[in-house]
């Protein structure tokens, strides 16, 4: 037998991983580099958590609170991408026996869905790496699914990346890429992203043969933002899922070391393996900002109506604009730098080639959605956006701000940022470091009506 449970203090709870509600271990997954901030934020001197295990992008904490396994794990922080209750850690040299062990211990548990995902192996965007994509996770998920099916267990098994249908991928964990700083270079960048054909970047030839392709709607659109409903929607926004789902997780820390965890899913990102949505991306994106904005709207469960007028500050070269145009919106990009020519030539795109502060504030009348991705300090972003949003003729209802962190410690100021945006009259203001964010986080603010000016 090549599988063994780790002998450590964890054994106190491992002897009966699902039975003991006290002194549980909880995990938090995050981006490489965020660990010191999280350790400091979560392990307060008199607080309930003590650091138990630390790897890049993955931490466990011992909790001194009674925590049933299907509870909302108690670690809340904008830099925490995924969190849950640790059940067990297993090691082995072959995936087959490890999978057998998981089934023998947890098949009888009342979980609804099984997630398999791998701890980040690099920082987002490093040499083509994007969080959530893991051939190893896909392979392990496939093996688990097959093993469950053989026992007529049809519960859902999902993995980061191509989760539902498995291509021919290696399953030899002895030779799988481990937690190294370089992703598998044999895979082209973004190889696991499934394509959507309708991006604005279709070739001229494609456009000629299908005039509809890539052309956003230019008519209609009353500008209302709608939250994706239960029926879901076609396009880049994924279908919402029911709340209160019990998710068993297999977290690949190293190819030969997996953590088994439990998560009671309630928020959109809880349903994404490892907290990274499984979105459809075009083969060619102008910049990584395409991934960021797609994830931001998915996180918020927000869908833009075709024809909606959107303004983006810091728009060059145009990845976010590409996504917004793919959604059928009319986009104005503000940036002194050049835009990608495919964006500039799009009929629904307007370029204001200025710094944001050079634009007259009344020019923002008619927009209800503001996106900002300028590479400036958080205070500069907030000063700029405040001046625009608080101008008497402004009617903004949705702000999607990428807040660049000059250093990781700056994350401590996130609560102040949120308070400041709330003071502008936005009812819902949230922060999350998205899977595709680098040293930055996404601030999402909404309000139902323009309260300051409704009369
Ligand atoms: C990270 S890039 C934006 C990427 C872009 N959102 C995309 O989708 O490809 C940051 C951009 O912010 C722009 N920028 C910096 N300060 C700005 C300002 N005050 N007003 C407008 N744009 C600004 C820079 O010129 C740069 O192009």
CATH for the stretch 281-446: 3.40.50.150
Residue of 286, 311, 344, 374 with the most ligand 1 atoms within 8 Å of its CB, for mutation: 374
Residue 318 beta carbon below 6 angstroms from any ligand 1 atom: yes
- In this predicted structure, the answer to whether residue 220 has a pLDDT above a threshold of 80 is no
> Mean pLDDT over all residues of the chain?
81
- Residue spans of the domains in the chain: they are 4-177+241-275, 281-446
* Single pTM value for the model: 0.82
pLDDT at position 161, please? 57
Residue 301 has pLDDT above 70, yes or no: yes
Question: Ligand 1: does its nearest atom lie under 6 Å from the Cβ of 288?
Answer: no
Q: Report the separation in Å between the CA atom of 366 and the middle of ligand 1, taken as the mean of its atom positions.
A: 22
pLDDT at 3: 43
The answer on pLDDT for 207 being more than 60 is no
Distance 376 CA to ligand 1 centre (A): 8
Give the pLDDT band of residue 193 (cuts 50, 70, 90): very low
Which residue is closest in CA terms to ligand 1's atom 13? 314
Residue 9 — pLDDT band, cuts 50, 70, 90?
Answer: very low
Of 65-69, 395-399, 449-453, which gets the smallest average pLDDT? 449-453
Integer Cα distance of 434 and 444 in angstroms: 11
Higher pLDDT pick, 216 / 384: 384
What distance in angstroms lies between residue 379's CA and the mean position of ligand 1's atoms? 15
Ligand 1 pocket, 317 CB below 6 A? yes
Distance 221 CA to ligand 1 centre (A): 27
Best of 125, 199, 313, 316 for a ligand 1 pocket test (most atoms within 8 Å of beta carbon): 316
Residue of 36 and 192 predicted with greater confidence: 36
Give yes or no for residue 390 having a pLDDT over 50: yes
Cα of 295 from ligand 1 centre, angstroms: 19
What is the topology classification, in CATH, of domain 4-177+241-275? VC0802-like (3.30.2130)
Residue among 324, 327, 375 to mutate when testing ligand 1 (max atoms within 8 A of CB): 375
Residue 336 near ligand 1, beta carbon < 6 Å: yes
* The pLDDT value given to residue 449: 65
Nearest CA, atom 6, ligand 1: 315
Question: Comparing 53-57, 69-73, 346-350, 352-356, which segment has the lowest mean pLDDT?
Answer: 69-73
Higher pLDDT among residues 29 and 177, named by residue: 29
Question: What confidence category does residue 213 fall into, taking pLDDT thresholds of 50, 70 and 90?
Answer: very low
Using the predicted structure, report yes or no on whether residue 164 has a pLDDT greater than 70: no
Q: How far apart are CA 376 and CA 16, in angstroms?
A: 50
pLDDT of residue 160: 78
What is the atom index within ligand 1 of the atom nearest the CA of 320? Answer: 8
Residue nearest to atom 16 of ligand 1 (CA): 374
Minimum CA distance residue for ligand 1 atom 26: 314
pLDDT at 192 over 70: no
Please report which confidence band the pLDDT of residue 70 belongs to, taking 50, 70 and 90 as the band edges: confident
* pLDDT band of 232, cuts 50, 70, 90: very low
Average confidence (pLDDT) over 417-446: 97
Q: Which residue would you say has higher pLDDT here, 74 or 135?
A: 135
Confidence label for 143 from pLDDT (cuts 50, 70 and 90): very high
Q: What does the H/E/C string look like for the chain?
A: CCCEECCCCCHHHHCCCCCCCCCCEEEEECCCCCHHHHHHHHCCCCCCEEEEEEECCEEEEEECCCCCCCCCCCCCCCCCCEEEEEEEEEECCCHHHHHHHHHHHHCCCCCCEEEEEECCCCCCCHHHCCCCCCHHHHHHHHHHHHHHHHCCCCCEEEECCCCCCCCCCCCCCCCCCCCCCCCCCCCCCCCCCECCCCCCCCCHHHHHHCCCCCCCCCCCCCCCEEECCCCCCCCCCCCCCCCCEEEEEEEEEECCEEEEEEEEECCHHHHCHHHCCCCECCCCCCCCHHHHHHHHHHHHCEEECCCCEEEEECCCCCHHHHHHHHCCCEEEEECCCCCCHHHHCCCCEEEECCCHHHCCHHHHCCCCEEEECCCCCHHHHHHHHHHHHCCCCCCCCEEEEEEECCCHHHHHHHHHHHHHHHCCCCCEEEEECCCCCCCEEEEEEECCCCCCCCC
Of 367, 391, 394, which is closest to residue 223 (Cα–Cα)? 367
Q: How far is CA 203 from the centre of its chain?
A: 29
Is the confidence at residue 416, as pLDDT, over 50? Answer: yes
Ligand 1 atom nearest the C-alpha of 337 is 25
pLDDT at 39: 95
């Amino acid at each position: 037998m090549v599988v063994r449970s780790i002998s450590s203090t964890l054994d106190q709870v491992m002897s009966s991983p699902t039975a003991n509600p006290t002194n549980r271990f909880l995990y938090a997954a995050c981006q490489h580099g965020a660990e010191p901030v999280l350790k400091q934020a979560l392990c307060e001197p008199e607080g309930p958590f003590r650091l138990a295990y630390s790897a890049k992008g993955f931490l466990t904490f011992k909790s001194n609170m009674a925590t049933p396994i299907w509870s909302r794990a108690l670690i809340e922080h904008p830099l925490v991408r995924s969190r849950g209750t640790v059940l067990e850690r297993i090691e082995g040299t072959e995936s087959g026996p490890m999978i057998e062990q998981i089934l023998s211990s947890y098949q009888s548990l009342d979980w609804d869905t099984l997630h398999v995902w791998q701890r980040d192996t690099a920082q987002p965007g490093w040499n083509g790496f994007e969080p959530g994509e893991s051939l190893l996770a896909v392979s392990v998920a496939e093996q688990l699914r097959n093993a469950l099916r053989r026992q007529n267990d049809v519960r859902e098994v999902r993995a980061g990346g191509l989760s539902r249908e498995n291509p021919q991928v290696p399953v030899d964990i002895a030779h799988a890429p481990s937690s190294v700083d370089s992703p598998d270079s044999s895979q082209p960048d973004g190889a696991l992203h499934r394509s959507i054909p309708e991006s604005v970047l279709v070739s001229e030839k494609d456009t000629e043969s299908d005039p509809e392709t890539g052309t956003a709607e230019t008519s209609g659109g009353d500008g209302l933002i709608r939250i994706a409903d239960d029926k879901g929607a076609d396009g880049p926004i994924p279908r919402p899922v029911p709340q209160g789902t019990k998710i068993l997780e297999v977290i690949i820390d190293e190819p030969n070391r997996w953590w088994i965890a439990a998560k009671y899913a309630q928020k959109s990102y809880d349903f994404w393996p490892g907290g990274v949505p499984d979105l459809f991306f075009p083969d060619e994106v102008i910049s990584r900002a395409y991934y960021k904005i797609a994830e931001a709207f998915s996180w918020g469960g927000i869908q833009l109506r075709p024809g909606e007028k959107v303004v983006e500050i810091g728009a060059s070269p145009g990845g976010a604009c590409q996504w917004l145009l793919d959604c059928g919106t009319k986009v104005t990009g503000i940036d002194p730098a050049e835009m990608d020519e495919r964006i500039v030539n799009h009929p629904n795109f307007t370029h204001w080639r200025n710094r944001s502060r050079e634009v007259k504030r009344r020019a923002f009348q008619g927009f209800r959605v503001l996106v900002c991705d300028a590479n400036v300090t958080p205070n500069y972003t907030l000063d700029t956006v405040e001046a625009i949003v608080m101008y008497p003729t402004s009617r903004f209802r949705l702000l999607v701000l990428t807040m660049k962190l000059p250093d990781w410690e700056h994350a401590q100021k996130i609560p102040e940022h949120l308070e400041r945006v709330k003071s502008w009259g936005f009812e819902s203001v949230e922060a999350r470091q998205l899977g595709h964010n680098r040293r930055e986080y996404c601030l999402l603010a909404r309000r139902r009506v323009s309260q300051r000016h409704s009369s």
